[in-house]
Structure formats: structure tokens, C-alpha cells
Amino acid sequence: MEIDFGKSGGLVPAIVQDERTGEVLMLGFMSELSFQETRRTGEVVFFSRSRNKLWKKGESSGHLLTVRDIRVDCDADALLIQVKPIGPGVCHEGYRSCFFRSLDPDGEWRVNAKRTFAPEDIYRAPAPRGEGT
């Protein structure tokens, strides 16, 4: 069974879930190369659509995602990566999960979680481990 990278221009959506809590942390996209790098390194590597290059999650923040299990769906066009998250959160806005807003019945998005870190402390600080920003 081969992942169907062709369906969406070479990228498949990859859901990241905390293996321990079941919380969905974020969704990114993987190219074939980023998938290979994820397997090789044991840490999640996406393909950044905005920067058009490989993006090791946590390379600037230190909040890496250690891979515990990789799942594929029945059509082989979506991935579910179960991880052990390193650090207090994956979201650049300071939350554990990027999905920190829920829809109210009146159509407004409300914040459903508390900040777990201050983004300005992480993203303005010198990059950890010398990995660059």
C-alpha cells in the first residue's frame, strides 16, 4: 500500500494527535520527502505550503513532536501521526493545540483553552540547539 501523494499536488494532510491524551494538536501537510524525513528522524517533518520547503516542527521553538505511531486512512490519502509532544504546546499562539477555538451557537469563535506558554518567550529567544529559526 502506497500513500497517494498525487491526489493533492504532492501533499497529504497529516493529523497530529497526542498519543497519551488523544488530543488533536494540529494538522499539517506532508510531501513524500517530508514523510521520509519523519520516518528517518522519528520526529514530525511537514512540508510548509507558505515557505515551500520542509519544516521540522519545533525547529525554532524546540517543541518537537516525537513520533509514536503513523497511521494511514483507507484511501491512503491522509495520515494520522500519534506523537509525544516535547514542550508545553504546538501552537505559535501559545496553546497546547492549534484547535483552541470552538464555534458558538451564534456563529462566533470562542477560545476553549488556556495558554500553556507565552509565545514571545519562545519565538524571540535565541533558537535552541543551534537549529536556526
Please give the residue ranges that form the binding site for a second copy (CB under 8 A). Answer: 1, 7-8, 13, 15, 17, 21-24, 26-27, 39, 49, 69-75, 78, 80, 91-93, 95, 98-103, 109, 112
How far apart are alpha carbons 123 and 92 in whole angstroms? 8
Nearest distance, CB of residue 132 and a second copy, angstroms: 22
2/121 with CB nearer a second copy: 2
Q: Which is nearer to a second copy, 41 or 112 (CB)?
A: 112
Rounded to whole angstroms, the Cα distance separating 7 from 128 reads: 36
Chain-centroid distance of CA 16 in Å reads 5
> Coil, strand or helix: which one is 34?
helix
Q: Residue 130 Cβ, how far from a second copy at the closest point, in Å? A: 27
CA 89 and chain centroid, separation: 10
